[in-house]
Structures are given as C-alpha cells and as structure tokens.
Amino acid sequence: MLQGWVVVATSFAYLGLLFAIAYYADRRADAGRSLIANPYIYSLSLAVYATAWTFYGSVGRAASDGVGFLPIYIGPTLMIALWWVVMRKILRISKDNRITSLADFIASRYGKSALLGGVVTVIAVIGIVPYISLQLKAVSNSFTIVLQYPAIVMPAKVGAVPMLQDTALWVALSLALFTILFGTRHLYSAERHEGMVAAIAFESLVKLLAFVAVGVFVTFGIYDGFGDVFARAAADPELRPLLTPLEGVAGGYASWVWLTILSMLAILFLPRQFQVTVIENVREEHLKKAIWLFPLYMLAINVFVLPIAFGGRLHFPGGVVDADTFVLSIPMAERQELLALLVFIGGLSAATGMVIVETIALSTMVCNDLLMPVLLRLKSLRLNDRADLTGLLLGIRRGAILLIVLLGYLYFRLAGDAYALVSIGLISFAAVAQFAPVVLGGIFWKGGTRRGALAALVAGFAIWFYTLLLPALARSGWLPIGLLEQGPFGIALLRPLQLFGLAGLDQITHAMLWSMIANLGAYVMVSLSGTQSAEEHRQASVFVDVFRRSPEGGGARFWRGTASATDLHHLLARFLGAAAADAAFRDHAKRKGLSWPTQPLTADADFVHHVETQLAGAIGASSARIMVASAVKEEALTLEEVRRIVDEASQVVMYSHQLEQKSRELEAASSELRAANERLKELDRLKDDFLSTVTHELRTPLTSIRSFGEILARDPKVDLAQRRRFLGIIAKETGRLTRLIDQVLDLAKIESGRTDWTETAVDLREVIGDSVAAMSQVLQEKKVRVEVHLPEQITPVRVDLDRIFQVLLNLLSNAVKFCNPQDRRIEVTLAERDGWLRVEVCDNGSGVRPADEKSIFDKFVQAGDTLTDKPQGSGLGLYICRHIVEHHGGRIWVQRAPAGGACFAFTLPIERGAPIHQP
Amino acid sequence: MHGFEKKGQRMIALCMLGCVLFNFPILALFNVPGLLFGVPVLYAYIFITWALLIALMARVAEKRD
Amino acid sequence: MTKKVLIVDDEQNIVTALEYLLGQSGYQVEVAQNGEEALAVVDSFAPDLVLLDVMMPRVNGYEVCRRLRERPEWRHVKIVMLSAKGREVEVSKGISLGADLYVVKPFSNTELVAQIDALLAGA
C-alpha cells in the first residue's frame, strides 16, 4: 500500500490538517479566545527543538557513538534550570521593548544599532542554512526509502540525479510554499503567530507519538524488552564498546562537555527557539510549567533511541543500511506498512515544524533588521511617505522564506553527503552559539558596547566560517581538499581543522574553542577599551536593570517624555508646599549654574529625576514615580504602546487617578483650612479693633464725666450757671455711655441667639413719626432740617415695634452725624409696593464710599479709615440694624442719594413668607 | 521579591548540580561494563539522574513563592 | 508772664473741661477743633504747650505732633498727648514722635495739671 501516490497524498493531507489547525487557532485568537494561552501548548511548542535530527539523526549518532547523542538534550535541560533567571529576564526585556526577533534584541541592547541587527541577521541566516538542508535531506531520504518498499534501498548520492528529478528540490519548494501560506497570510500584530504555534504544538505530539511507537515496536515487538536488546548488544563484539562509550569515541569527555555547552546555548539562541520561547510567549508564568514539561518531553523522545540503534545494528549487520534511517527501515523490513507511514509522517512533522518556525523567524529578521533599515534610508524609494507598508513587508518576508529554503537546498546539493545528520546540525549550533556572549553579557553586564558586540560577532563568525563551514565545502569537493591538509598557501599553522597547530580535538570542540576565545575576547576587550554613546548607555541600563524598574516597565519610554517646569513645580508644591518646591528648584538651578526664578529651567530627564527624588522623600518612591509620570507628557506613543499601557498598566493608571484625586482632595481641604485660618485671623483683628474702639468710645464720655465730676467736687468757686452746664454735660455723656452698653448687650444677645421678639401689627407711619420726635432735641441742637414723606394709605405690618424703632433711631442718628455740617438736611421716605414696605433715610453728607457699601453692615466695621476719619460710634449700630431687618424677612442696604449723600434703605414684607421678590 | 530570589537561587543550584552529575569525573564512575536492571550502567545512570533532575526542577518551579 | 496752652480735641465736652481747668490754673488757653486748625493756630498763638488728642478726623494727633517737631522754631514747644487709646504701642508711638507726655483718658485733673506745671516750670 505504500505506493508513491499514497505517501504523497498522506503527506499533503497531513499538511492540510496542520493548516486547518493553524486557521482555527487564528480564528480563536481573533475572537479573543486564544487557543495557545496555556502552559501546555507553550511547552509543546518549545519541542520544535526536536527536528528530523532528533527523529532520524539521534539513532544514527547512537549507533556509532552510544551516548554521544544525549548532550544535545541534557544541555538544554541544564540551561532550562537557569531559565528562571535568564529567560525571565529576556522575556521581560522583550515584552517591555517590544522585541520582534533575536536580531532586534541584540540591536536594541547595543543602542538600537541597525548595523548590528544586520550582522546578526546575516550570521543567523548563513548559520542556519546547513540546519535547513539537514531537514530537506531527512525528508527527501525518507521519502525515497519509503517509495522503494518493500526493498530497503539507500538513496543515491546527491548530484547523481538531475536537479529537476531531485526529490529534495520538490520537498524544499513545497515546504517554502507551505510556510508562506502559513506564516505570512497576513501581518500579525506584535509579531505573534497563534496559528503557527498551535500547529507546531500538534506536530510535537505527532512526532513523539510516532517515535515512541517505533521504539515500543522494536523493543517489545522485535525484541523482548530493554534487557533483551542490551543483552544481545553486549554479546556482540562490535557493539560491546558502545556500552561504555565515553572512552572510545573521538574526543571522549571533552566532546561530551562541548556538545553540552553548545546545546545549552542553542536552546537559547536558535532563531526558532527564540521565536517560540520569547516572541510567541503569551504569559511569563507559562515558564513555570515549561521548565519541567519541556525537559520531560526531551527525556521521553530519547528513551527508545538506544534500543532502536542497537536493534538496527543487530538487524542490519555490516553497515549496508545508513543508521540515520533505522527508524524508518526497521518497520519496513518488518513489513509494518502503517507504522512505516506513521514514522514517515512523524519525520515530516519534525522537519516541517523546524523549517516553518525557523524560516518565519529568519524572514522577520531579514525584513525588519536587514532590508527595512536599508530601504527606509534610501530616499529615492520614498518609503517614509507611504502610509501602508504592509504589502511590501509581506512581500519581503515571503521572498525571504523562499530564499532561505532554497539556500538550504543549495547547501544540501553542495555539501549534503559529506556529513551525517547530526554533524550538519552541530555546525548550525556552533553558529548560533556565537550570539551567547553579546546576549548574556548584554543582559547582565552594562559595560558591553556596540563596537564590542560587533567585534565579537564578526570575530566569532569568521572563525566559525573558517573552521566549520569551509571544511564542509572542501570535503564535498567544492574547494581543494589541500586547503584542509596543508593549510591555505601551504601555511600549516592556518589549517582550518588544526588552527594554530591545535590537534587532537574533534571538529566541533576545536571550532568552539577558537571561536569562543575570539568572540568573548573581542567582546570584553573592545567594550572595555571604548566608551558608550548616551543611547547605548541608556539601553544597557534598560536591559540590565529590567527588574529594578517599576512594574509598569516604562523606564525607557518614560525618559523620552517631556514636561513643563510649571507642572513639575505645581506637582512638588502640591506635596511639599510652595516653599519647599521653590527650594528644590533653586537647588537644581544652582547645580546647573542658573539662578531660578529669573532664569527658566528646562524640564529635561535629569530635572524630572530630581523632582521625582524630591517627591519620593515625601510620598515614597513608587507613588512619586506615578505622580511624576502623570505630570510628564510622553512623546510619540505608537498605537501598540498605548494598547500595552492600557492592558498592562490599567491598574497603575487607576491607582494614579486615585492618588491624584486624593491629592486634589487634600489640596482642597488644605486651602479650606487656610481660608478658615485667614477668616479667624481677620475676626481676631476685627475683635482687637472692636475692643480698641469700644474702649475709646467708653473712655471718651468717661473722661468728661470724671473731669467735670472732679471740678464740681473740688472747686467751690464754680458759679451756678456753670455748675448746671457741667451737670448737663455729665448727664448727656452718661446717656451716651448707656447707649453704647445697650448696643454691646444687643450684640451679645444677637450673637447667642437669645433675642426675644414680640411682634404686633404696626403702622410704620407712626413708628417713623415717633422716632423723629425722639430725636427732636438733637435735631434742634444741630439745626437739622428733616423732611418726612409718608403715604396716605399704608398696610399695617407685623413687626417687633421696639426693634424697628431702634433701627430708625440708628439710621437717623447716623444721618445726623454724617450730613453736611453747613446745611444739615435729612429726608425720610416710606413707600408701599408689591407687598413690600420700603423706608429710606437719606442725608446730604459726603456719602459712603462704594467699597464700603457692603461691609458697612458687618460687625465692628466703620466707614472710612480709623486713623484719618474719626469713627463715629462703636461700629455695631448698622450690624444690629441688619440683623433686625433680616429677622423680619427684609433687606437693608445703602445707596448714593440723588443729592450726593448716603441713602440707607430697608424693606419689610407685609406678609411673612411672601414671594422672595425684592423691590 | 525575596521569594523570586530564592527560586532563582534554587534553580541555579540545580543547574550546577546537573553540570557536576553529567560531567567528568562522575560520568567516568559509571562508564563501566555491566548491566543495571538489564540496562548498561552508564545509560541507566544518565536516564535516572536526568529524570530526578527534572522532578526537582518541577518541584522548585511549581513551588509557590 | 503767663504760659500759653493750646488744646486740640474734637470732643467739645472734653475741651470745655480742659479749658476751664487750665484757665483756673492760670494759663492762657486757646482751642483748636482738629489737627488742621491746630497747625494753623500754632504760628499766631505761639503756645508753650500743646494738649493734643490723638483720634481726630483728617489730620490726627500723631501727624500734628510729627509736623510740629519738624519745625526748628517749634522744637521747644511741649507736647502732651491725650488719648482714650491706652495700649502700649500707641503710647510708645506718641513718645517716639516727640511727645513729652502721653496721658490716657480718663485722666485725673490734679495729676494732669501738676504734670503740665512741672513740664512748663522745667522749660
């Protein structure tokens, strides 16, 4: 049943299924119900690490080296233990800085250097090409083998078939097409590919299932369990050395150690691993599960490698069958068609998964870090003017995918036969390991510079190229083999495989040793011998101190902000008071060599920091951060950044709003307090003035009384007429005293609210007449002419007669005091209108200053300046009048009389509770 | 923050432990002929140690701060 | 030669009392109702002593005192300030402006006259 069309149809059906899964996951993601937002899918997607190399190559390696395949999985396990320290940091940095790829990460760390990003991209693409060729080789070989069923025939040498009949070419083209359909259907926001991740996770399940199925079949179907396989191997003299392999194989322990280190680095820096672990990560917490689930997956897929390897060696003695194909050839030899098909699909899974993720990651780099920076700088393209670059970006990415896969095919045609699967893969591992110093150094050491990073990458990559890629091409016959044996130009010291005469190591160990010395050496030396630009310096601290910054993680963004010095001063004054804010400003100005406030301060980052520090002393560092952030306007936030701030920092924003509101409330409360305090002070001052005034008013009549009292008592010579006059003065001044005391008592009653009101129906015409009559003596003395205008009809009004009488007397005596001394005239008018009675008492004096018109009715207030104008009275009369009138529901005010004097008027409602209409 | 530090430290310790266990000379102690549960001693050692290491990592990773 | 005293006060009743009192004590007395009037009278009347009320409309007692002390020919004139305001600040303000005596109302007739006698006798 394993005819060609069945295999091809099954393959395409499988790819179709993957496509469906990806499509479904994308739909779910668009609907906001992410399929991949859980740690299990995340862990399975990380297993994209297991490629055709693992699926076919591990058995091949084990068949010749024994445990030699294991460091590739133990290394990552050890590195993953460090993930909690290393990967969490990389994740946080990447999320904070919106990193889109490994190249972006490195470029961003070293001052957003486009050159560095380009170099990383070139290294990654060239380094990964052998790895992709490995997948093509594995898939095309397995396809070729399966088609020969039931015969077991090894594929022909590469190049023996014309290119167009080469299976690998068609595999390559199909994979490229599939990846393009898959990964670049549209531009994903945030560079995340949910559909791809879901499909990859599914593929991880398929390849594990297929491999375990073969393992179980070989171990328990063909043989009788692990013990049986190993016992037979131990009995075979050819296989016996593989049971204690570490002494026999090339390099021994050194090789083991280097492979472990290499794969520790590969798990971090392979572009596809960076893609699934960092870029596609949904939540940082998923690391917790991935830290043990992913190693567990690697353990599981390796359990049956040795039984299959030994089983294969026992099954196909003599080495006629390539050990790299055992996984497929054993089921075929045993006529297990379905199992063979499953294995083929498993291998396809492993290869496609790798190619898809790797090429998507690389195409992102090629697009974002290599081509776009160049294209955007080419002014002739006018890309900056184009609003929508989506089409261009997609085109570049699709082209890049096709190019990378074809490069893989080219490498396969050139050098595919010279090495086994694992050896090909290790060349790629060694290439990406060159990223280790600049990335790990970059996140833990602030001193690394852009030039140091460039030097490190170039030096490391050059050595890698010379000691690993060149020999591969030479062995395949594309370069003279003499290059390896005699060295270039016959210089033995420069032989690529024994550089500087270093012999006795296996190829990978040799290459890693030299490239790492060059790489690390250049990184440290060049970094230490140069200086960083401001941008590099800032990015270095953003990366290294990522956990030290506040939770919203906006440090870098934050310093790009601008603020006005006024806002900052306002902010400081709100928490520290204006004086301390002034002091802080002067302090800062002094350090800048300016003199504030005559010279304005610019609110630069340094100043903002200064303000934040000041504020932190008062309200704590985190609150200070929030407050400053709210005063600082941020520059050019992209839509993405805004979305992220809203998502991640909505909590912070809420707190900041609450804090701001609280501070506003505090501010309001404190200004109320200040106002209250001012009023108290004002009252205190008024009281002081009042006491002084009352004292004066009491002492003045007392002076006359005492003086005349003493004269009358001691001087017998005073004649009778004079005695009478003096006694009269005493009597008058006593009356004045009495009035004052009455007023003070009235005031006391008003203040305490214990005034008694006895209301009767009153005809106001009578009250006015009585009050004028009561004043008649004073009026006559001062020769005041009084005109009284009363209406013929008037409605009686219910009032407290004595109090209204008191009001009238007060207004009249005021009028007498203030009227024109040369021609004293007073007019009193009563009128009734719209349910209101209105009384006016006008004099012909100098009037009341407009500024005093309101305050004159306040307690203790006297018209005019107390020192230049002698006050007349205690300042209580009008206050008492106002109180009385308002108690009756009326209003009292002063206006300028037509003749120029003061006109005091008050109204009384005829019926209490009458409309509030005021004439 | 203290909890995170502790978790990080424990993870680093596990990594170092793994580096020692999967390295010369410890590996050499098990690189001897013979079978353990029917499996060559070295293979048995590596897989058992590996599994234990993963179990410890799971424990530390899942432990609440 | 009889000494001359100028009484400056706007309270008519107090003026009356002082006029009688000082007249009985043998002084030649002149009256001014306010500060302006006082400054106008000083030249023609040439008093030996001015009895000066502080609280007066327009030009108050302090101002009169200051202006009198500005003129060299009036430096010798004794000034006694009379005020119903007896707080310390007010007393010291009067003295610092050049008054010879600050008397708080109400005063004792005998004491006031004795003090005026003493001031003029020393001159």
Write a three-state SS string for C77-106.
CEEEEEECCCCHHHHHHHHHCCCCEEEECC
The rounded percent of chain A whose pLDDT value lies above 90 is: 23
Residue A812 is encoded by which pair of tokens? 């009249």
Least confident of A40-44, A332-336, A464-468, A561-565: A561-565
Three-class DSSP category at C52: strand
Of A708, A717, A868, the CB nearest to C58: A868
Categorize the per-residue pLDDT at A642 as very low, low, confident or very high, splitting at 50, 70 and 90: very low
Q: Is A334's pLDDT higher than 50? A: yes
- Distance separating alpha carbons of residues A654 and A914, to the nearest angstrom: 52
A685, A775: one domain = no
Of A700, A705, A711, the CB nearest to C11: A700
Residue of chain C nearest A708, judged by CA positions: C17
Q: Is A886's pLDDT higher than 60? A: yes
- Domain borders along chain C are 4-122
C-beta of residue A182 within 8 angstroms of C-beta of residue A356: yes
- The angle subtended at Cα A648 by Cα A642 and Cα A649, nearest 5°, is 80
Categorize the per-residue pLDDT at A623 as very low, low, confident or very high, splitting at 50, 70 and 90: very low
pLDDT recorded at residue C91 = 81
Of A80, A247, A292, the CB nearest to B31: A247
Categorize the per-residue pLDDT at A559 as very low, low, confident or very high, splitting at 50, 70 and 90: very low
The pLDDT tens digits of the residues spanning C4-49 come to: 999 999 888 899 999 999 998 899 999 998 888 888 888 888 899 9
Residue B55 is encoded by which pair of tokens? 């179990």
Averaged pLDDT, A827-842:
90
| DSSP code at position A868 | T
- Distance separating alpha carbons of residues A669 and A665, to the nearest angstrom: 6
pLDDT recorded at residue A489 = 77
Categorize the per-residue pLDDT at C50 as very low, low, confident or very high, splitting at 50, 70 and 90: very high
C-beta of residue C27 within 8 angstroms of C-beta of residue C1: no
The answer to whether residue B23 neighbours chain A at the CB level (below 8 Å) is: yes
Residues from chain A contacting residue B39 (CB–CB below 8 Å):
226-227, 230
For residue A826, tell me if it sits in a domain: yes
Q: Is A918's pLDDT higher than 80? A: no
A689, A612: one domain = no
A771, A883: one domain = yes
A562, A515: one domain = no
Residue of chain A nearest C58, judged by CA positions: A868
| DSSP code at position A827 | E
Residues 6 or more apart in contact with residue A283 via CB below 8 angstroms: A37
pLDDT recorded at residue A549 = 57
Contact A867 C109 (CB under 8 A): no
The pLDDT tens digits of the residues spanning A6-16 come to: 888 998 899 88
- Distance separating alpha carbons of residues A778 and A775, to the nearest angstrom: 6
Strand order in C4-8's β-sheet? C28-32, C4-8, C49-53, C78-83, C101-104
**Residue carrying the six token digits 């023996």:** A160
Of A536, A570, A602, the residue at which a domain comes to its end is: A536
Distance from CA of A743 to the nearest CA of C (A): 20
Query: Please, what is the angle between helix A565-576 and helix A621-631, to 10°?
Result: 140
- Distance separating alpha carbons of residues B5 and A84, to the nearest angstrom: 10
For residue A134, tell me if it sits in a domain: yes
The pLDDT tens digits of the residues spanning A43-74 come to: 999 999 999 888 998 898 888 888 888 999 99
Distance from CA of A610 to the nearest CA of C (A): 49
Q: Is A618's pLDDT higher than 70? A: no
Contact B27 A227 (CB under 8 A): no
ipTM metric? 0.94
Residues from chain A contacting residue B32 (CB–CB below 8 Å):
244
- According to the 3-state scheme, what is the secondary structure of A204-239? HHHHHHHHHHHHHHHHHHHCCHHHHHHHHHHHCCCC
Q: Of A74, A57, A53, A86, which is closest to residue A298 (Cα–Cα)?
A: A74
Residues from chain C contacting residue A867 (CB–CB below 8 Å):
55, 60, 62
Phi, psi for residue C102 in degrees, rounded to 5: -125, 115
| Count: domains in chain B | 1
The 10 Å Cβ neighbour count of residue A464 is 27
Ordered alpha helix ranges (H), A717-875: 720-752, 764-774, 776-781, 801-818
Q: Is A190's pLDDT higher than 50? A: no
Averaged pLDDT, C102-118:
90
Cα C20 to the center of its chain, rounded Å: 15
Measured over the CA atoms of residue C97, residue C102, residue C104 and residue C105, the dihedral's sign is: negative
The answer to whether residue B46 neighbours chain A at the CB level (below 8 Å) is: yes
Cis ω before A597 (30° cut-off from 0): yes
The 10 Å Cβ neighbour count of residue A685 is 11
For residue A154, tell me if it sits in a domain: yes
Of A487, A506, A536, the residue at which a domain comes to its end is: A536
The pLDDT tens digits of the residues spanning A146-172 come to: 888 777 777 766 656 676 677 788 888
Least confident of A537-541, A681-685, A792-796, A858-862: A858-862
**CATH (domain of A791):** 3.30.565.10
The pLDDT tens digits of the residues spanning A264-318 come to: 999 999 999 999 999 888 888 899 999 999 999 999 999 999 999 999 988 888 7
A762, A873: one domain = yes
Residues from chain A contacting residue C106 (CB–CB below 8 Å):
699, 702-703, 705-707
pLDDT recorded at residue A917 = 43
Contact A81 B46 (CB under 8 A): no
A130, A213: one domain = yes
Averaged pLDDT, A869-877:
59
Domain that holds residue B55: 2-62
The pLDDT tens digits of the residues spanning A439-490 come to: 999 999 888 899 999 999 999 999 999 998 888 888 877 777 777 777 777 7
C-beta of residue A217 within 8 angstroms of C-beta of residue A339: yes
Categorize the per-residue pLDDT at A500 as very low, low, confident or very high, splitting at 50, 70 and 90: confident
Q: Is A191's pLDDT higher than 70? A: no
Least confident of A347-351, A756-760, A844-848, A914-918: A914-918
pLDDT recorded at residue A339 = 92
Q: Tell me whether chains C and B touch (3+ CB pairs under 8 A).
A: no
DSSP state string for A493-554: GG-TTSGGG--SS-HHHHHHHHHHHHHHHHHHHHHHHS---HHHHHHHHHHHTTTTS-TT--
Q: Is B4's pLDDT higher than 80? A: no
Residue A111 half-sphere exposure toward CB, CA atoms < 13 A: 17
Contact A696 C85 (CB under 8 A): yes
Q: Is B6's pLDDT higher than 90? A: no
A226 CB burial (10 A radius; 0-12, 13-18, 19+): buried
Residues 6 or more apart in contact with residue A787 via CB below 8 angstroms: A825, A826, A827, A828
- Distance separating alpha carbons of residues A139 and A145, to the nearest angstrom: 10
- Distance separating alpha carbons of residues C68 and C6, to the nearest angstrom: 13
Averaged pLDDT, B18-39:
84
The answer to whether residue B35 neighbours chain A at the CB level (below 8 Å) is: yes
A913 CB burial (10 A radius; 0-12, 13-18, 19+): exposed
Categorize the per-residue pLDDT at A379 as very low, low, confident or very high, splitting at 50, 70 and 90: low
The 10 Å Cβ neighbour count of residue A652 is 18
CATH 3.30.70.100 for domain C4-122: no
Residues 6 or more apart in contact with residue A532 via CB below 8 angstroms: A111, A449, A450, A540
Categorize the per-residue pLDDT at A622 as very low, low, confident or very high, splitting at 50, 70 and 90: very low
A117, A178: one domain = yes
- Distance separating alpha carbons of residues A740 and A208, to the nearest angstrom: 109
Residues from chain A contacting residue C65 (CB–CB below 8 Å):
none
Contact B42 A227 (CB under 8 A): no
pLDDT recorded at residue A431 = 92
The answer to whether residue B48 neighbours chain A at the CB level (below 8 Å) is: no
Which of A292, A305, A308, A550 is the best substitution to test chain B (most B C-beta atoms within 10 A)? A292
Tell me what the pLDDT averaged over chain A comes to: 81
DSSP state string for A246-273: TTTSTTHHHHHHHHHHHHHHHHHHSHHH
Domain that holds residue A137: 4-376+402-536
Of A189 and A216, the structure prediction assigns the larger pLDDT to: A216
Residues 6 or more apart in contact with residue A471 via CB below 8 angstroms: A484, A496, A497, A507
Distance from CA of B5 to the nearest CA of A (A): 9
**Strand-strand pairing, A836-843 and A825-833:** antiparallel
- Distance separating alpha carbons of residues A697 and A743, to the nearest angstrom: 12
Residues from chain C contacting residue A707 (CB–CB below 8 Å):
14, 17-18, 21, 106-107, 109
C-beta of residue A78 within 8 angstroms of C-beta of residue B18: yes
| Count: domains in chain A | 4
Contact C85 A733 (CB under 8 A): no
Q: Is A417's pLDDT higher than 80? A: no
Distance from CA of A843 to the nearest CA of C (A): 19
The pLDDT tens digits of the residues spanning A94-147 come to: 877 777 789 888 988 887 777 888 899 999 999 998 889 888 888 888 888 888
Of A754 and A239, the structure prediction assigns the larger pLDDT to: A239
Which of A65, A74, A79, A84 is the best substitution to test chain B (most B C-beta atoms within 10 A)? A84
Kindly list the distances between the CA atom of residue A232 and the CA atoms of A249, A646, A859, C120, in Å, as whole numbers in the listed order: 21, 65, 118, 147
pLDDT recorded at residue A651 = 55
pLDDT recorded at residue A684 = 85
For residue A542, tell me if it sits in a domain: no
pLDDT recorded at residue A649 = 46
Averaged pLDDT, A836-851:
86
Q: Is A560's pLDDT higher than 50? A: no
Of A509, A536, A563, the residue at which a domain comes to its end is: A536
